[in-house]
Each structure stands twice: as structure tokens, then as C-alpha cells.
């Protein structure tokens, strides 16, 4: 599925413009989060657009300090208010890490070890009609297994993760497919410090040249053909348009990208474990 834009790290004054350009280019999926601190500006851009609400898919994410069941609905309400809408298409748990409310990253061990109470609060939002789908982000396989071992009323619809040529996560993708869980790729071209290297890879450049498309289009098409949702983030109008114009890769080209991507040790960039002062790695350690 293409036609999506992430608004992560899009700065103030930039993000509203990016949303407008994206909607004009045909994007209909806006991926935001409470913690990006730009939901008001995204909301203003959505209000001023001539696209109907029901034709847009809006995602937001529950921040780590709001995992206590009683904090979930107020957190959603704040995002809804800022976005200027009365429902979300998708609400996801941003990280499998709970912090105590109002604290400076003080771990709530219980809710981190067991996200089911948080999940039940999300399920209640579906029943209230405030949220159409619920999901998770940055969950590894053991954490997904831990959550889904509970008697869930609604299964997670998506797991949004760092997914790109340098970190293709084939095992997680297979697990997701086997469990009808959709993966959403953030940093699909690599994170900002990797984009140049990724787009400059000889295998990617060669395919781009042969197909007369850009290296970014090769990679976005590869994601789509892997069966994932792609969230390319850009604040540059020409790139926003470029990233939307994707075509299917011929089978041999797709196989070449897949083989090249999975032939090197994975390089993950986004990992806040140390920055948050955790004594475990969010991605590698479970239980912590
Ligand atoms: P920009 O937003 O300045 O256009 P991340 O997803 O980790 O935030 O990083 C995405 C990075 O990829 C951003 O630096 C973005 O730059 C860049 N980018 C997005 N689309 C393209 C493209 N088609 N070609 C080159 N760089 C791109």
C-alpha cells in the first residue's frame, strides 16, 4: 500500500506545508504521534484541505507516559482535539515501554512487562467508536507473543517498525504474515543519516537506471511488494511527489533487492534504550 506520509521529525512550520503538499500529491495516510508535538499543525493542515475526513487515514500513537489504563483515553482525547477530528483510523502503542505518568522516563516495570491492561484500554476506545483500529509499534517477536497470548478482543492490526534496506527484518516480516499482522515501515529509505548510503547502493542504482525510476522509488516499490505499509517521511515537495509515484518492480528486480538487503548484518539506527536510561535493550532483550 503506498500513498502514505510520516510526519516524524518534521519541524514546526514545515509539517503543515508537508501535509498539504502530500494531500495534493494524492497521499491519503498521515502518520503522526503525540510525541512529535506537531499534531495541532497537522490538524490545521487537514482542516484547510479540501479532502473529506472519511477519505483520509489518520494514525496517532500513545506515548509511554500514558500506558496506565486510566490515562489512555485522555491521551487520545488530547490528540483528537489537536488533530481536529473525533476519531482516529489507527491508534498504536508507540513503544513497548511504559513510564510512570509525569515522570522523567521512570520505568513502570509492571506495565512494561505486561502491556495487556494498556491494550484493554485501547480495545475500549474501539468499542466507543473513537478509534477504528489499534496496533503497536517497535514490538519484537517475543513482545508480540507476550501480548497476543492474552484473550484479546481485538488483535493488533499493525506493528510499525524501522524497516529498510539496511534493517529488513525478514523474520519479523514472516511472523507478521503468519499472524495476519501488517508491518508498517518507518524510515523506509533508511534513517536520515543512512539515506544517502542506501540510495547510492550499486544494486539499487542499477535497477533504478534499468527501470528509469529513482533509487527511492525502487526501495518504496520493494517495500510495497514485500506486503508492508510504507511511511516515507519528507518535507521536500519534490521528494514527497517522487515517493508517491511508485510502480511494481519486475520479479527479478524485486528478488535482487531482497537478496541484497538480507545479505548483510542488520543495522538498526532508532533505539532509545540507552537515551532513556534503560538497563535492557528494547529490541534485543525480553523479558528485561
Ligand atoms: P527530507 O525530509 O529533508 O526531504 P527518517 O524517515 O528517518 O526521518 O528519514 C527520512 C529522510 O529521507 C529525510 O532526511 C528525508 O529528507 C529523506 N528523503 C525522503 N524521501 C527522499 C527521497 N526521495 N530522496 C532522498 N531523500 C529522501
**Domain edges within the chain:** 4-261
Fill in the DSSP letter of residue 248: P
Q: Is the pLDDT of residue 146 over 60?
A: yes
Q: Please answer whether residues 18 and 234 qualify as being in contact, where contact means their C-beta atoms are separated by less than 8 angstroms.
A: yes
Q: Is the pLDDT of residue 288 over 70?
A: no
CA–CA separation, 39 and 42 (whole Å): 5
CB-defined site of ligand 1, < 6 Å? 8-9, 187, 189, 191-192, 195, 199, 216, 232-236, 239, 242-243
Ligand 1, atom 21, residue with closest C-alpha: 239
Per-residue pLDDT, 8: 61
Q: Please answer whether residues 115 and 96 qualify as being in contact, where contact means their C-beta atoms are separated by less than 8 angstroms.
A: yes
Which carries the bigger pLDDT value, residue 4 or residue 202?
202
Task: Please report the atom of ligand 1 found closest to the CA of residue 235.
Answer: 2
Average pLDDT over residues 129-137: 98
DSSP 99-139: B-TTSSS-B-HHHHH--HHHHHHHHHHHHTTSEEEEEEES-
- Secondary structure class of 9 (helix, strand, coil): coil
Cell triple for residue 154? 481485538
Q: How many CB atoms lie within 10 A of CB 208?
A: 18
Q: Please answer whether residues 230 and 185 qualify as being in contact, where contact means their C-beta atoms are separated by less than 8 angstroms.
A: yes
- Backbone torsions φ then ψ of 161, nearest 5 degrees: -140, 165
The verdict on whether residue 94 carries a ligand-binding annotation is yes
Provide the pLDDT confidence category of residue 2 given band limits of 50, 70 and 90: very low
Provide the pLDDT confidence category of residue 266 given band limits of 50, 70 and 90: very high
Whole-prediction pTM: 0.95
Q: Is the pLDDT of residue 253 over 80?
A: yes
H/E stretch holding 121 reads helix 116-127
End-to-end CA distance of the chain: 34
Per-residue pLDDT, 10: 56
Ligand 1, atom 12, residue with closest C-alpha: 192
Q: Please answer whether residues 158 and 229 qualify as being in contact, where contact means their C-beta atoms are separated by less than 8 angstroms.
A: yes
Residue 168: burial class (beta carbons within 10 Å; 0-12, 13-18, 19+): buried
Per-residue pLDDT, 1: 31
Distance 74 CA to ligand 1 centre (A): 33
The fold of 4-261 is TIM Barrel (3.20.20)
CA–CA separation, 211 and 209 (whole Å): 6
Average pLDDT over residues 110-116: 96
Q: Is the pLDDT of residue 208 over 80?
A: yes
- The closest alpha carbon to 249, from 188, 206, 202, 281, belongs to 206
Amino acid at each position: 500500500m503506498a500513498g502514505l506520509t510520516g510526519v516524524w521529525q518534521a519541524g514546526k512550520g514545515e509539517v503543515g506545508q508537508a501535509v498539504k503538499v502530500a494531500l495534493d500529491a494524492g497521499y491519503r495516510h498521515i502518520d503522526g504521534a503525540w510525541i512529535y508535538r506537531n499534531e495541532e499543525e497537522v490538524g490545521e493542515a487537514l482542516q484547510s484541505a479540501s479532502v473529506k475526513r472519511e477519505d483520509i487515514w489518520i494514525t496517532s500513537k500513545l506515548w509511554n507516559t500514558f500506558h496506565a489504563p486510566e490515562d489512555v483515553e485522555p491521551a487520545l482525547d488530547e490528540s483528537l482535539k489537536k488533530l481536529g477530528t473525533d476519531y482516529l483510523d489507527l491508534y498504536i502503542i508507540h513503544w513497548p515501554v511504559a513510564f510512570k505518568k509525569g515522570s522523567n522516563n521512570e520505568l513502570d516495570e509492571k506495565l512494561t512487562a505486561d502491556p495487556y491492561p494498556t491494550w484493554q484500554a485501547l480495545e475500549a476506545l474501539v468499542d466507543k467508536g473513537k478509534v477504528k483500529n489499534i496496533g503497536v509499534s517497535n514490538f519484537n517477536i517475543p513482545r508480540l507473543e507476550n501480548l497476543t497470548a492474552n484473550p484479546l478482543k481485538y488483535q493488533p492490526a499493525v506493528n510499525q517498525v524501522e524497516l529498510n534496506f539496511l534493517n529488513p527484518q525478514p523474520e519479523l516480516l514472516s511472523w507478521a504474515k503468519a499472524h495476519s499482522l501488517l508491518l508498517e515501515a518507518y524510515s523506509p529509505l533508511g534513517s536520515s543519516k543512512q539515506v544517502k548510503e542506501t540510495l547510492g547502493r550499486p544494486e539499487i542504482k542499477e535497477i533504478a537506471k534499468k527501470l528509469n525510476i529513482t533509487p527511492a522509488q525502487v526501495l518504496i516499490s520493494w517495500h510495497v511488494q514485500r506486503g508492508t505499509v510504507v511511511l516515507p517521511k519528507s518535507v521536500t515537495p519534490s521528494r514527497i511527489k517522487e515517493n508517491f509515484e511508485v510502480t511494481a518492480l519486475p520479479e527479478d528486480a524485486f528478488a535482487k533487492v531482497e537478496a541484497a538487503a538480507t545479505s548483510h548484518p542488520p543495522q538498526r539506527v532508532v533505539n532509545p534504550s540507552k537515551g532513556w536510561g534503560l538497563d535492557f535493550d528494547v529490541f534485543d532483550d525480553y523479558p528485561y
